[in-house]
């Protein structure tokens, strides 16, 4: 069964082929490509872009979708193995996922990090347990440490903007946020930029270094693609000559699962809000990227988000073309077609 769970499962050429297909579908609609196909979307967590772009993309290819949000009109689902189900959950994913798959040709699952156990989240345990019981093509709609659909759309956005792959300077910057946020987007973004062959700098305050497995994976991708990955807390040095700054908050790994300690670490960092002054050492045409949703004047100032640097709406739109390419490849090739 074909799957789209992690950009790292694909070769760089596979990714380039998907991006070419995404651009082709953007230029030349194929309204019958997935006629009669059904995509089931299982969302354990909220969404605007992922939900709407999968529904719109599937419709543009002639297919249909149905959406299940456990606990909102449907049974609360248990994801843990081996538990006594005498609480709120009436049904286990071990039954629910095969049942949903039996109605559909492919399934997408969104399941965020538990946020309590860093090792379990880094291993993507909950998502991979669900993947094991899914008998149809599966798409990762964001798991504990991955968001491959976001990564593919972001890569396309940089291609569209002609931001250089090899030699392009990509800054992934931590930003302040009132909540401790998951590692999925920063992990996917740093790997994507490294696989694209870019010179990647992770800019973050002391105490917020990305976990070593995430950096290792990005460095391995960089080694394959001629890119590089470094970390710093020096904003001026990081931003020097940057083509792109990608802002995202993430939880401090050293205080993972301890909200009070994590909050204390973040309490002095409110100035990690991207404003125009950040761009002084960057290239004049340096772009601002963010996966959205974003909190205005918390993560980034209005002056940046409303200015010419911001490409956040293009990123969101490119999610749709990129995901259409993924669905086209998963479902058309099931019938032996390219
Ligand atoms: N970027 C992203 O995945 O957006 P949603 O959470 O709205 O789907």
* Cα 200 to ligand 1 centroid, rounded to whole Å: 23
Q: Which of 46, 47, 320 to mutate to test the pocket of ligand 1 (most atoms within 8 A of CB)?
A: 47
CA end-to-end span of the chain: 16
Which atom of ligand 1 sits closest to the CA of residue 316? 1
Which atom of ligand 1 sits closest to the CA of residue 149? 3
Residue 334 predicted with pLDDT over 90: no
Query: Quick one: pLDDT at residue 333?
Result: 56
Residue 40 predicted with pLDDT over 90: yes
CA 206 to chain centre: 24
Per the CB < 8 A criterion, the answer to whether 176 and 298 are in contact is yes
- Give the residue-averaged pLDDT of 131-151: 98
pLDDT in tens, 199-219: 999 999 999 999 999 999 999
Overall pTM surpassing 0.85 (yes/no):
yes
* Cα 46 to ligand 1 centroid, rounded to whole Å: 8
Q: Which of 44, 49, 313 to mutate to test the pocket of ligand 1 (most atoms within 8 A of CB)?
A: 49
**Residues whose beta carbon lies within 6 Å of some atom of ligand 1:** 47-50, 142, 150, 291-293
Res. 337 pLDDT band, cuts 50 70 90: very low
* Cα 304 to ligand 1 centroid, rounded to whole Å: 20
Neighbouring CB atoms inside 10 A of 301's CB total: 17
Residue 310 predicted with pLDDT over 50: yes
Q: Please list the alpha-helical segments (H only) found in the chain.
A: 12-27, 49-60, 93-103, 118-122, 125-132, 148-160, 184-195, 212-225, 235-239, 259-266, 302-305, 312-327
What is the largest distance, in Å, between two alpha-carbon atoms of the chain?
59
* Cα 147 to ligand 1 centroid, rounded to whole Å: 9
- Give the residue-averaged pLDDT of 120-140: 98
* Cα 50 to ligand 1 centroid, rounded to whole Å: 5
- Give the residue-averaged pLDDT of 77-96: 98
- Give the residue-averaged pLDDT of 46-59: 98
- Give the residue-averaged pLDDT of 232-258: 97
Q: Which DSSP letter does residue 70 get?
A: B
Query: Quick one: pLDDT at residue 338?
Result: 40
* Cα 207 to ligand 1 centroid, rounded to whole Å: 26
Q: Which DSSP letter does residue 274 get?
A: B
Query: Quick one: pLDDT at residue 336?
Result: 44
Q: How does the average pLDDT of the chain come out, rounded? A: 97
Q: Which DSSP letter does residue 209 get?
A: P
- Give the residue-averaged pLDDT of 247-252: 98
- Give the residue-averaged pLDDT of 297-324: 98
């Amino acid at each position: 069964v074909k799957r789209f769970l992690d950009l790292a499962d694909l070769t760089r050429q596979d990714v380039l082929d998907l991006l070419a297909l995404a651009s082709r579908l953007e230029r030349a609609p194929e309204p019958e490509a997935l006629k009669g196909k059904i995509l089931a979307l299982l969302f354990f967590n909220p969404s605007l872009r992922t939900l709407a772009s999968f529904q719109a993309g599937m419709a543009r290819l002639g297919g249909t979708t149905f959406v299940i949000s456990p606990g909102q009109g449907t049974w609360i689902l248990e994801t843990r193995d081996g538990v006594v189900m005498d609480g709120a959950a009436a049904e286990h994913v071990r039954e629910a996922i095969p049942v949903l798959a039996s109605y559909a040709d492919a399934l997408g699952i969104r399941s965020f990090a538990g946020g309590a156990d860093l090792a379990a989240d880094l291993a993507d345990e909950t998502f991979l347990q669900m993947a094991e019981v899914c008998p149809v093509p599966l798409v990762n709609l964001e798991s504990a440490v991955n968001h491959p659909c976001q990564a593919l759309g972001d890569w396309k956005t940089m291609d569209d903007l002609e931001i250089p792959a090899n030699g392009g300077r990509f800054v992934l910057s931590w930003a302040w946020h009132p909540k401790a946020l998951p590692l999925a987007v920063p992990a996917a973004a740093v790997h994507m930029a490294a696989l694209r062959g870019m010179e990647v700098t992770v800019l973050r305050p002391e105490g917020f270094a990305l976990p070593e497995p995430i950096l290792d994976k990005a460095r391995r991708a960089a080694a394959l693609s001629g890119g590089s990955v470094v970390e710093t807390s020096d904003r001026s040095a990081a931003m020097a000559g940057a083509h792109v700054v990608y802002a995202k908050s993430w939880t401090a790994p050293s205080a993972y699962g301890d909200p009070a300690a994590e909050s204390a670490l973040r309490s002095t960092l409110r100035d990690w809000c991207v404003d125009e002054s950040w761009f002084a050492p960057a290239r004049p045409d340096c772009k601002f990227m963010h996966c959205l949703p974003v909190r205005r004047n918390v993560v980034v100032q209005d002056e940046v988000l409303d200015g010419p640097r911001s490409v956040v709406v293009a990123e969101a739109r490119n999610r749709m073309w990129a995901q259409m390419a993924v669905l086209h490849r998963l479902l058309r090739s099931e019938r032996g077609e390219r």
